[in-house]
Chains A and B, each alone.
Chain A
Amino acid sequence: MARGAIALLTLGLCGCEGIQSALSPLGPVAREIAALWWWMFGVGVAVFVLVLTALLYAVFSHPDRRRTVDPERMILGGGIVLPVVVLSILLPFGVIVGASVSDERAPEALTIRVRAHQWWWDIEYDDGTPAGGFTTANELYLPVGRQIELILTSADVIHSLWLPRLAGKLDLIPGRTNRLVVEADSAGILRGQCAEFCGLGHAKMALVAVAVPPEEFAAWADAQRRPAAEPEDELARRGGELFAAAGCALCHAVRGTRAWGRVGPDLTHVGGRLTIGAGLLDTTRDNLALWIAHNGALKPGNRMPDFADLDRQQRDAIAAYLESLE
């Protein structure tokens, strides 16, 4: 497998700077924290310049020309009064910002259950509508302006969900349930990543979130609720048969078919997602075929076997089938 090819393929979605930046907030929580950072940065620079000046003056000015300081007074001023004043302003500021990061759930909030696995995200929407919830993976759609309650659990080891443009991170710990309330206040794409070392695939356990206007979100959710569409073209239909025959269904679910596996990501609408492999590759037919045969090289440690014994045509057929699952 040519490394160059992998590098090239992974470009895709990630080609925009700031997509994972805590300094490009898309929501109120991240915006408050970014503001806190800039304030602390300014004060920090001021304190550093003060110390730097005093130190350089003490070392480089001529000893005969500088007046001796009363050391007690200098230590009292610089070592006690300065930090006490700065910190007594900072601590309440931090508490206020922290309090604005509410974990109170508003009644109209949208609940999303995220269950982390080595090394992907199982995502279950439960918006309380009579139509019911649905399952997807590695991709969040968020309605702009509506509070979102993320319910976080882990299926194996400790992971941490971090979407820097929305909020800080929160761990997903086996045996525990954590809650994170976030909100996107404008539309955009953002990338997140597991932030707690979770083993071999940790570096490639990412996810994508798309914040869209509420009506667009509703349309997306309706589409997600529907079972998988029957493939239309011949290649994809053959791919569907191969998908069942090759054992893919043991691990993956495709609603509306007999694939009910729950070990790997739900693939019902995988063709409509922006990426495959947990934020790794753009969802194209070529990438899907590549992933089927070489996912172990693309994502070291990945739990899925490499289906290298399928021939080129078979892989292309399955890729075509998956691509058709929009």
Chain B
Amino acid sequence: MSETVAGPMPRPRRDDAVDRFEDRFDRVWAPPKGIRRVCAVNNSIVGRRFIVTGFFFFLIGGVLALLMRTQLLVPENGFLSAELYDQLFTMHGTTMMFLFAVPIMEAFGVYLIPAMVGAHDMAFPRLGAYGYGCFLLGGILIYSSFIVGSVPDGGWFMYVPLTSIEFSPDKSQDFWLLGVTFVEIASITGAIELIVTILKMRAPGMSLDRMPIFAWYMLAVSFMIVFGFPPLVLGSILLEVERTFGLPFYDVARGGDPLLWQHLFWIFGHPEVYIIFLPAAGLVSAMLPSFARSPLVAYHLVVLAVIGTAFLSFGLWVHHMYATGIPRLALSFFAGASLAVAIPSGIQVFAWIATLWNGRPRLQTPLLFIIGFILIFVIGGLTGVMVAMVPFDWQVHDTYFVVAHFHYVLIGGMVFPLFAAFHYYLPRATGRMLAEPLGKLSFWLMFVGFNVSFLPMHLTGLLGMPRRVYTYPEGIGWDGLNLTSTLGAYVVGAAVLVFLANVAFSVFRGRDAGTNPWEADGLEWGSRSPVPPYNLRSIPPVRSRHPLWDEPDLPRRIQNAEEYLGTAPEGKRESMVTTVVGGAPEYVIRLPHPTFVPVLAAIATGAMFVGLLVSAYAVTAAGAAALLAVLLAWWWAPAPEKPTKDAGRGLTLPIELGDRRSAGWLGAVVFLFVDLSIFLSLVYSYFYLWTAAELWPPLGSAPSVGAPVVTTALLLALSLPAAWLTTRAVGRGRRALAAVALAAAAVALVLMLLAEDAVIGSLPFRIDVHAYGAVVFAMLVFHAVHAAAALGATLFALARIAARGVDPERTLAARVAALLTFYAAAQGAIVLAVIYLTGAPS
């Protein structure tokens, strides 16, 4: 493998050839001009848009926070009404979590990961652009609630029944549920493309243990998003369905349970904290070596700590629910897990300290922010250990102590690293350095202001002040503490203003950044700043974990197109796909050029959400139809004009594979993980409601196994051999057999949908009187949707085969259709088993 990677020495090039290709290469990768610029799909441009938009939301969320702090400046203040204050704290939390922290951290992944792993772009650039569209439109949708005056006011945690139709009859909560779900599409698509990019798009020779540490962090985080976001997506859908169509899931009077929402929310919500923290810690691990002038120590241990955190973070959610009256034994388990997460955090903190200790630290602005981060985060971690202790949490839960704790964790753990990263990476984007004196000033203002604001809050909470109160009485001992906190918050605001001034100054007057201004070790600094849209001109073979330190000549060779894929003779955007573990070259992937497709897809998706919001279901249907049309255009990819090409340095690789080695296949599999997580959340909801119910199914609701059920089960079983045969036939290039197999699968799926409709029609209960009926109906509909999707994919694959024939190496459509059929069949079997085995009349 390593021989393949090293390859022969580069052949000397004729200079005129380089010049000719240079122009063409830049032209191929150049973003379009004017209004067509919205069509740009490459990671450097989409990533930058993501970061700027996320930062804009950070400024809005910060202004909301300053307004709230102004209201709390003195007791019994009349600056804000109770109503407005409730809206502001809801929108502050929602903005900071869903519109700032998660998106901006993923944005850094989108912006940096391809460059770090040596790719010209992400694996799915259009998916990234679509995600950005969903993020932007979703954010606008949530904030448009201010225009119509129905601003979400149920808290960012949206506990039912306060947010149910009975207690929030207007549209405010619908804005939240639909807007946040819309935005989450962006998080999930971002996670999918990050996983595939990290696993498949690395430079040749970059085996997993040579991978930049930030890529490990983003890989772990992306998997956490894949499994962690779906429970909230499901919870939100169920709540929206309950609010709009009256199917009870959380309504106690009809057999639902409000605690189900809390479980679904916190199964998402706790991993979410680490989804925010880990990328920031990854940035610290990536930046720190430049300032320590020494590599990150204990790379393997840090990787293990990151993976450990990712796993543990899914076992902690109940520590947000200590005060709900859950049995003691369960609490002790979650307390243990919550304490255990201190260990991987401790490993990272001491790895950073040891890195500095063994290096020769250079005290520039990013390092100041990193030091501030470590100190603040350690305090947040220590108070985190305290609140993990069940009896202590009973006192401080939902008080200002917890407000202080998680702002130490999130501002310390995420905002400080983010500002370090701004100072560090902004020159890469603009080509100009930020000013050190202004940078240091903004650090000191932020560090002092933050601690003045949030340190006293620990005491405020212990002295009894609960969260989410718009005012407080005078003289219980909270006055001076609140005054101090508010003044500190203003200082943090000033720090952000100084930073903005620094950015403005640097854009016009900043010192030229050149190539690798921080003398960093990673490939992302292998180009001259501002970095071109393709990140690196040519993709170098990677021989160590610190390519720029170990091969000082590398940037020159990269920029002179002396490495792989530094030219674009066919006029196509390309990058290299390598094996998951070893990073051995597999094929050349053709990447999309600028296109309106993702923009249109995002607008169609937005129409679906707006239609749901205003109960104009025709709009939703039109949006869905438009989305389907756009997706067909998206997926109907042109076949490559030739099977292989010279990738440079004498390496010949296939173009655009479409089998199990392909990026597209891995993307489909990861997408199914997302879907699986939604499905498991739904099954969890069924069993949770069962345990909470007195009688399950309610009297007279037990469904019996009739002819439709048996027919559905039989057809499920029939679709399996058809799917299996499809995969086998396309793998061997047998067109007719593949077509027959796909057609058989399609027929089975159509009949199964009909049978399932009969199953739903034969249910012996109304779906809106009891949670049992609602959740059974939800599972059947969920499965029907997937059977329909498998049917769509099967028909698409049939059309592909009819139009193109079967090329055994490029069979993605048929393979994905078979995969979806398998998946839908397995899901259907589980749904039927759950309903008819556990719901049988006793």
Q: Measuring CB to CB, which residues of chain A are less than 8 angstroms from any residue of chain B? A: 3, 6-7, 10-11, 14-23, 30, 32-33, 36-37, 40, 44, 47-48, 51-52, 54-55, 57-59, 63, 66, 68-69, 71-72, 74-75, 77-80, 82-84, 86-87, 90-91, 93-95, 97-98, 101, 118, 156-158, 160, 162, 164, 167-171, 173-176, 178-179, 191, 193-204, 300-301
**Are A95 and B397 CB-contacts (below 8 A) given A158-B258, A174-B258?**
no
Say yes or no: is B618 at the interface (Cβ < 8 Å to chain A): no
> Within 8 Å of chain A (Cβ to Cβ): is B346?
yes
Using known A-B contacts A164-B464, A200-B82, determine if residue A169 contacts B477 with beta carbons closer than 8 Å: no
B161 touches A178 (CB 8 A): no
Contacts of A300 in B (CB 8 A): 81-83
Taking the closest CB of chain B, its distance from the CB of A278, in whole angstroms, is 12
Which one of A30, A66, A91, A160 lies within 8 Å of B335 (CB-CB)? A91
Are B162 and A158 interface neighbours, CB within 8 A?
yes
What is the bound-complex CA distance between A202 and B325, given in angstroms?
21
Whether A20 lies near B464 (C-beta < 8 A) is yes
Closest CB in chain B relative to A22 CB, distance in Å: 5
Asked if A94 meets B474 with Cβ closer than 8 Å, knowing A59-B356, A69-B357, A71-B298, the reply is: no
With beta carbons under 8 angstroms apart, the residue of B367, B391, B398, B477 that contacts A97 is B391
- Distance in angstroms between the alpha carbons of A316 and B475 in the assembled complex: 29
B349 at interface, CB cutoff 8 A: yes
Number of B residues, CB within 8 Å of A? 86
The complex places the Cα of A123 from the Cα of B353 at a distance, in Å, of 55
Q: Does B382 contact A (CB under 8 A)?
A: yes
- B239 interface residue, CB < 8 Å from A? no
Contact B476 A191 (CB under 8 A): yes
Q: How far is the CB of B166 from chain A (nearest CB, A)?
A: 8
Q: Is B169's CB within 8 Å of the partner chain A? A: no
Whether, in the assembled complex, B257 has its beta carbon less than 8 Å from a beta carbon of chain A, the answer is yes
Q: How far is the CB of A275 from chain B (nearest CB, A)?
A: 11
Q: B359 on the interface (CB 8 Å rule)?
A: yes
User: Would you call B343 an interface residue if the criterion is a C-beta within 8 Å of the partner chain's C-beta atoms?
Assistant: yes
- Distance between Cα atoms of A247 and B464 in the complex (Å): 37
Given the complex of chains A and B, what is the CA–CA distance between A59 and B351 in angstroms? Answer: 14
A17 to B478, CA, bound (A): 8
How near does chain B come to A31, taking the closest CB pair, in angstroms?
A: 11
Residues on A with C-beta less than 8 A from B469 are 193, 202-203
Known: A10-B76, A51-B374. A18 touches B354 (CB 8 A): no
Docked-complex contact B346 and A169, CB < 8 angstroms:
no
Task: Report the minimal beta-carbon distance from A95 to chain B, rounded to whole angstroms.
Answer: 6
User: Once the chains bind, are B466 and A44 in contact (CB under 8 Å)?
Assistant: no
Q: Are B389 and A36 in contact (CB under 8 A)?
A: yes
Q: A79 CA to B167 CA in the complex, in Å?
A: 47
- State whether A66 touches B357 (Cβ < 8 A): yes
Flag whether B392 is at the interface (Cβ < 8 A): yes
Known interface pairs A94-B392, A156-B167, A195-B399. Does A44 touch B382 (Cβ–Cβ under 8 Å)?
yes
Q: Which residues of A contact B75 (CB under 8 A)?
A: 7
The 8 Å CB contact of A48, one of B76, B351, B379, is: B379
| Complex: chain B residue closest to A174, CB-CB | B252
In the complex, the chain A residue whose C-beta lies closest to that of B159 is A158
User: B66 near A: Cβ within 8 Å?
Assistant: no
Q: Is the CB of A170 within 8 A of B323?
A: yes
Knowing A7-B76, A79-B351, A175-B252, the reply to whether A20 touches B476 (Cβ < 8 A) is yes
Question: Are B346 and A168 neighbours in the complex by a CB distance under 8 Å?
Answer: no
Which listed residue (A6, A17, A78) contacts B353, Cβ 8 A? A78
A299 to chain B, nearest CB (A): 9
Closest residue of B by beta carbon distance from A201: B82
Q: A18 and B477 in contact (CB under 8 A), knowing A72-B298, A193-B464, A193-B466? A: yes
Q: Which residues of B299-321 have CB atoms within 8 Å of chain A's CB atoms? A: 301, 305
- B471 contacts chain A at the CB level, 8 A cutoff: yes
Between A82, A101, A200, the greatest number of chain B beta carbons within 10 A of the residue's beta carbon is seen for A200
Report the minimum CB–CB distance from B307 to chain A (whole Å): 15
Some 13 contacts from A to B, beta carbons below 8 A apart, are A11-B473, A14-B474, A21-B464, A44-B383, A55-B353, A63-B360, A74-B350, A95-B335, A101-B394, A162-B466, A164-B464, A195-B399, A202-B469
Whether the pair A23, B463 counts as a contact (CB closer than 8 A) is yes
* B323 and A168 contact, CB distance less than 8 A: yes
A51 and B475 contacting across the interface, CB-CB below 8 Å: no
When distances are taken between beta carbons in the complex, the residues of chain B under 8 Å from A11 are 473-475
Would B298 and A197 count as touching, CB distance under 8 A? no
B193 at the interface (CB under 8 A from A): no
The docked-state distance in angstroms from the alpha carbon of A173 to that of B161 is 9
B357 touches A78 (CB 8 A): no
Contact of A79 among B325, B349, B355 (CB under 8 A): B349
Whether A18 and B325, one on each chain, are in contact in the complex, defined by CB atoms closer than 8 angstroms, is: no
Asked if B390 is an interface residue, CB under 8 A from chain A, the answer is yes
User: Could you say which residues of chain A place their CB within 8 Å of the CB of B343?
Assistant: 79-80, 83-84
Look across to chain A and name the residue whose beta carbon is closest to the beta carbon of B352. Answer: A55
Q: A77: nearest residue on chain B (CB-CB)?
A: B350
A19: chain B residues at CB < 8 Å are 464, 476
Cα A83 to Cα B371 in complex, Å, equals 21
Chain A residues, CB < 8 A from B161: 156-158, 174
Q: Which of A77, A94, A174 sits near B391, CB closer than 8 Å?
A: A94
Whether B14 sits at the interface, judged by CB under 8 Å, is no
Q: Which of B382, B398, B469, B473 has the most CB of A within 10 A?
A: B473
Closest Cβ of chain A to B403, distance in Å, is 12
Q: Which chain A positions have C-beta within 8 A of B38?
A: none
Chain B residues, CB < 8 A from A95: 332, 335, 390
- The answer to whether B357 touches A68, judged by C-beta atoms less than 8 angstroms apart, is yes
Given contact pairs A71-B351, A80-B343, A22 touches B357 in the complex (Cβ within 8 A): no
| A17 lies within 8 A of B477 (CB) | yes
Are A74 and B354 neighbours in the complex by a CB distance under 8 Å?
A: yes
In the bound complex, how far is the Cα of B301 from the Cα of A199, in angstroms? 46
State the CA gap A6–B354 with chains docked (Å): 57
Please give the distance in Å from A281's CB to the nearest CB on chain B. 10
